[in-house]
Structure 1
Amino acid sequence: MRLLNGYSASVIEQVQRHIEDNSLASLLLSRHPVIHDVRTDKALYDYTLGFKNQFMRQSDPLAKVIYDEKITLTHQALGLHSFVNRVQGNKVKAKNEIRISSRLKRIPEPLLRMVVIHELAHLREKEHNKAFYKLCEFMLSDYHQLEFDLRLLLICEQLGQSPYEA
């Protein structure tokens, strides 16, 4: 239950009951019945760019947004953002990159949206602090509920009970 650290005892108890009843996967399916269709790196880039243009137009451009096979959901559940500086002649060029686990190709669209919003928020706020979460909530009002639902999905996957497997 490491994924639920910081949640109240009553919330953890409810999740534990769902696990014992084998109803956690069906709970997720009732909340999010359909998986997204953003399957390619190009589609993911376009999808992410739409949110960036809507909420963070003034932020630095994105050089790359891709699905990454190397990201494991247990250690980097939401993906990775990187700010890469490269020296070219007398200039330093900065590139923002977002990498999302390729295992997130088969999840509901609201959960993918939450991951994308999370990584976009890192363009302005590098740390997971109060300003970071405030920005996430500005871009996605139900951010915290969707983050919780993603945690539930990760628990399902750890139990071998993912409701969205092919």
Structure 2
Amino acid sequence: MPKFKYLSHYPESLLLQVKELLESGKLAGLLQKKYSVGHQIQSNKALYAYTMEIKQRYLRKSDPLSKIEYSDKVSALNALGTHSRVSRVQGAKLKAKKEIRIDSRFRNLPEPFLRMLVVHELAHLKEMDHNKAFYKLCEYMEPDYHQLELDLRIYLTWLEHEKKTP
């Protein structure tokens, strides 16, 4: 069985299905049929507006975000997105800033995957750990969260197999 780095924690039966679809050349068609449309969220300004719209709808009372941007450095951390909390002393006050960075590859991936990742990073405003409450919050903001996460992992596996860059 080949190593699929994006699917490492999934059951062997799923890995076998993905392997068979990859080898038969059917996976590309299935993914493109389901996720054929791109998106217009190309700039950091557009990503900020997109993220803030979701935040305002579901997490109105959560902490403010100071920065939301695409970053080429995120994939170097072996991640798809990051959230960070930066605290700085300014005079007698402690200023806390929260930032979200999304892997630049998501500029070219289908919008449902971008939404899933934005929801994931926003959920970290309320829940730092990947626990039940965290995933409940993700499902609240995106009911198809778990399916989108699996599909994204399969999509990235396909891109890696085909040596394509989004």
Common fold by TM > 0.5 = yes
CA distance in 2, matches of 1:33, 1:161: 19
Residue number in structure 1 paired with 2:87: 85
The alignment yields a C-alpha RMSD, in angstroms, of 1.6
Superposition pairs for residues 49-128 of structure 1, below 5 Å?
49-72=52-75, 75-77=78-80, 79-128=81-130
Q: Deviations over 1:30-71 (max 9, x none)?
A: 111111110000000000000000000010111010000112
Amino acid at match of 2:66: A
CA distance in 2, matches of 1:7, 1:161: 22
Q: Is the counterpart of residue 38 in structure 1 residue 41 in structure 2?
A: yes
Q: Does the CA contact (< 8 Å) of 1:85 and 1:92 recur in 2?
A: yes
Q: Does the CA contact (< 8 Å) of 1:3 and 1:151 recur in 2?
A: yes
Equivalent residue of 1:118, what SS? helix
Q: Deviations over 1:78-134 (max 9, x none)?
A: x11001111111111111100001111001111100000000001111111111111
TM-score, structure 2 normalization: 0.92
Percent of aligned positions with the same letter in both sequences?
Answer: 49
Q: Is the counterpart of residue 13 in structure 1 residue 23 in structure 2?
A: no
Deviation at 1:5, TM superposition (A): 2.6
> Which stretches in structure 1 are left out of the alignment for 5+ residues?
none
CA distance in 1, matches of 2:64, 2:77: 29
> Paired residues, what number?
163
Closer/same/farther in 2, CA of residues 2 and 69 from structure 1, 3 Å limit: closer
